[in-house]
Structure 1
């Protein structure tokens, strides 16, 4: 009868393999959004206490029910019921490749991590089968799944490093061979928008390749260069993201910048850097790299008070263009305005005044427009041509993108914004865009990665929102209590409709939005923030 127990154990192993595959995809989805950073993934795991409860509880009940069974038939029945449990919960597990907001992308790296994790889990499962352990012991591999994913990633690190080095080298060599003018853009916020505007301006001058969306990591940039850079491209505009000290310098070694542009220093991603001085020092790695090549640096006046900026300017101001209202700014911004038609900026460049206008919304885009104008001028474009080109700037996807609806309402999509400056600008835009007799409706889960200043920044913005919002729909209000409380204190007569997720907010909007209303979607949370897993 021992063979019966062995057969039952093999059936359990097969059922567990199916369950583990489905569960590994669930955890990999979060691991991928944490950029395969084991430390951050572990932090999420323990902070949210996202461990299996349902399958483990079912296994525990079944295992305890048969714990005193000595007959092989009863042990076999227990194990077979455990196999049914694994199949049931595996079948019920949602597939993040299909149902998630930001779906799991099973890239080559993700596939390697899954395979490595499976190889590491195999001897554990084999041991349980050989020892023909009782059902209770099978709870252990269930709980081990996320840790095996991390271990699989660690085991693969030498291989991943070699692969990344190969891709990095191919992209770097291609840039060296084709020699486009490389424009590097970084900043705590505004970099994607400035990249979008500058890419539009330069593409009118000559063929230009721009990194798409929010692609700003070494491997993302390397992929774009390898797959899309062509001999006819004269300009390559590259967004450079900062994920810690040295990260910008690494990107600059990949794509050495001929022009550096620093848009802003602020608390976005404060959680990673812990201080604004560290943020500034990292951003100025880009300026230092451009100076090494004899290139030009364009700086927003907002960054000048930081120590990193002072140190950089202390080494010389040759080929440095400051953009802002500062007296000594090379491109002096005299005034900025926003209307229902877009943003405007009056600027002075080389002694001549220009009226810049673009059909973009949010007063902060006036500053982004001025930065892009200065950079294009520095690259040899005719200022008068740029003034004309700005008027045809397309809207920036998911960054205060204004979309009139068939029912007469207007939706403002600012889903990719997660910084305090942009948030405040978006709120002010509601007053300009709302229709006659309409309401200003805000849907927001707040901001992320603010670290120690999360509470204070949300409280400040909640008070600002009270001046511009008629109806507030906070998504996952528990994580932005300071925002909601500040809004309620300042706007006691305005309705607040708490929503557990965006689906609830959308359902309310579908029923209640009327012609003339303007709805602002301010930021959108990755699944690891919005979707609380109940496993």
Structure 2
């Protein structure tokens, strides 16, 4: 074939390869970012078959075949006759990959990293590594161009990791400076009351409930949404905390021992709330014992005259309550937890038309207080008891607490009721996923009156050795509660299917559909008036939007920035406060 044609093919390949390489760099930067640039979390990511399939798929096999053919052509001169057909095949491969990408964009199945300084470093370094290799090959011997391009594409996950490795020392220096700056600023604020909250589940809801109640009397600052790393807490202190605030409420998360201790050393809490301990992120902690030790670091960080608040609904946390020698309180959503323990518990719970009515007993007092809330679910009753316990400890009356409760609404994507298609009801519980939350959501669904109960579920991650057992239990509960279920990932689907069918679901109603547009289309075909659709775990937002009726409007969405809302109380109310 004419050399000019070969040159044209190679240039076309190079152009399409650049676009494909950019797509790969963006995707793997996104994955590293959501795993917080941590090797342990990235390793756990590949525990799931769906995650491994991002590499080990048909694209991988085609890349491998093209790479082998390119190597054969270079090493054995007699195979130069395959240059042009191989070039055409490689060009077609990259064209098909880009067409597939554009189709994913159309279906809203693509993901992009948030542009932060760390993400920008990873993107730039990864791009330079890709282009540097190509430039070196062209400088050395362009005979190896096809081999180089296909090899780089084949090794894209590894080459993108170089960007993470290179940016890590810089990120660590920046992190150290931010943490130290936050620690120094916090130490200067002697009169500030800090409340720390941690646990395997319930952290964010409990935090938001505490903030809603305390804001009736105090000016309160809190960490935003579920941002709970040491960096998130430190940045909130540096950027937002000032002497006008009475209380700082900090959510504290961790994936291994020592992280909560670091966060607590920065925030220096006086009150610590332990919401629950379970198997979430077990593959990262390594064992339940390590999880327990990591969460208890918050209690260990409290001063001797601080206050430790424990959730009595969780057996592990309740045992820690009895072991704790610091001032302590125990809260619970039922009346059968230790009645002699100081704290707040729900004496009785009644589900009413638009929420829940709770009779609350404080310690051993004879009188109960009646409160009502729009919140659904026993787990929210438990979280609310924790918030009331803290509010009482800082001197708030039950009248103030009732006023604060009126302002509590479902946190976005946590059992949030929304208008669905065909006059159905959508329960959006797609905020995050853990075993406790899944069973709590299914309990709520079980109590609700509806024609069909449909669940859309993304299997849980980072459960380590108990993952199969956990999904067996979830599948059984789905079979008991739901009339239909769509699982949006192949992960653990055979286990979920077997258990759901075994426990009452018709085999044709337990489906695995991984493409968001197909999920929406299937639901549209089956949903009827008075059906209830539960969205559980991190469901693709395009599915949620596709199932909602237009009358939800913008009013269903709350401002993402809660800090200004939590700081609206006038300073004149300060004179009534009593701080622990």
TM over 0.5: yes
Which position in structure 2 is the counterpart of 1:246? 258
Deviations 1:248-280 (A, max 9, x none): 111112211121100011122222223222111
Which position in structure 2 is the counterpart of 1:32? 33
State yes or no: 1:168 paired with 2:179.
yes
State yes or no: 1:189 paired with 2:196.
no
State which of 106, 111, 116 in structure 1 corresponds to 2:115: 106
Equivalent-residue separation in structure 2 for 1:271 and 1:101 (angstroms): 27
Equivalent-residue separation in structure 2 for 1:58 and 1:148 (angstroms): 19
* C-alpha distance 361-142 of structure 1, shift in aligned 2 (>3 A): same
Which position in structure 2 is the counterpart of 1:519? 533
Equivalent-residue separation in structure 2 for 1:133 and 1:380 (angstroms): 78
1:1-40 to structure 2, matched below 5 A, reads: 16-40=17-41
Equivalent-residue separation in structure 1 for 2:79 and 2:70 (angstroms): 16
- Tell me if structure 2 keeps the 8 A contact 1:399–1:416: yes
SS of residue matched to 2:228: coil
Q: Which runs of 5+ in 2 are unaligned?
A: 542-580
Q: Which has the higher contact order (CA 8 A, sep 6+)?
A: 2
Equivalent-residue separation in structure 2 for 1:101 and 1:15 (angstroms): 19
* C-alpha distance 290-478 of structure 1, shift in aligned 2 (>3 A): closer
Deviations 1:450-509 (A, max 9, x none): 221122222223222333212222222552322221110121547524132243322211
- Tell me if structure 1 keeps the 8 A contact 2:272–2:309: yes
Which position in structure 2 is the counterpart of 1:208? 220
- Tell me if structure 1 keeps the 8 A contact 2:73–2:82: no
Equivalent-residue separation in structure 2 for 1:283 and 1:255 (angstroms): 15
State which of 385, 389, 393 in structure 2 corresponds to 1:378: 393
Equivalent-residue separation in structure 1 for 2:464 and 2:411 (angstroms): 28
State yes or no: 1:150 paired with 2:161.
yes
Which position in structure 1 is the counterpart of 2:411? 396
1:260-271 to structure 2, matched below 5 A, reads: 260-271=272-283
Root mean square deviation, CA, Å: 3.5
State which of 464, 477, 482 in structure 2 corresponds to 1:464: 477
Q: Deviation at 1:281?
A: 0.9
Equivalent-residue separation in structure 2 for 1:408 and 1:7 (angstroms): 58
Q: Deviation at 1:214?
A: 1.3
Which position in structure 1 is the counterpart of 2:247? 235
* C-alpha distance 471-371 of structure 1, shift in aligned 2 (>3 A): same
* C-alpha distance 9-522 of structure 1, shift in aligned 2 (>3 A): closer
State yes or no: 1:343 paired with 2:356.
yes
SS of residue matched to 2:456: strand
Q: Which runs of 5+ in 1 are unaligned?
A: 528-535
* C-alpha distance 11-469 of structure 1, shift in aligned 2 (>3 A): closer
Q: Deviation at 1:373?
A: 0.5
Segment of structure 1 superposing worse, 409-418 or 63-72:
63-72
* C-alpha distance 45-349 of structure 1, shift in aligned 2 (>3 A): closer
Deviations 1:178-217 (A, max 9, x none): 5532211111111111111111112222222222221111
- Tell me if structure 2 keeps the 8 A contact 1:296–1:320: yes
* C-alpha distance 140-298 of structure 1, shift in aligned 2 (>3 A): same
TM-score, scaled to structure 1: 0.86
Segment of structure 1 superposing worse, 271-280 or 296-305:
296-305
Which position in structure 1 is the counterpart of 2:486? 473
* C-alpha distance 411-235 of structure 1, shift in aligned 2 (>3 A): same
Q: Deviation at 1:382?
A: 1.8
1:65-464 to structure 2, matched below 5 A, reads: 84=91, 88=95, 91-92=98-99, 94=101, 99-100=108-109, 103-129=112-138, 130-134=140-144, 135-178=146-189, 180-291=192-303, 294-303=305-314, 305=316, 309=320, 312-313=323-324, 316-317=325-326, 319-324=327-332, 325-333=337-345, 334-349=347-362, 351=365, 352-405=367-420, 407-435=422-450, 438-464=451-477
SS of residue matched to 1:399: coil
Equivalent-residue separation in structure 2 for 1:92 and 1:396 (angstroms): 38
- Tell me if structure 2 keeps the 8 A contact 1:298–1:320: yes
Equivalent-residue separation in structure 1 for 2:7 and 2:110 (angstroms): 42
TM-score, scaled to structure 2: 0.80
Equivalent-residue separation in structure 1 for 2:154 and 2:254 (angstroms): 34
- Tell me if structure 2 keeps the 8 A contact 1:188–1:263: yes
Equivalent-residue separation in structure 2 for 1:519 and 1:512 (angstroms): 11
Which position in structure 1 is the counterpart of 2:499? 486
- Tell me if structure 2 keeps the 8 A contact 1:338–1:363: no
Q: Deviation at 1:384?
A: 2.6
Equivalent-residue separation in structure 1 for 2:86 and 2:168 (angstroms): 37
SS of residue matched to 1:115: helix
SS of residue matched to 1:515: coil
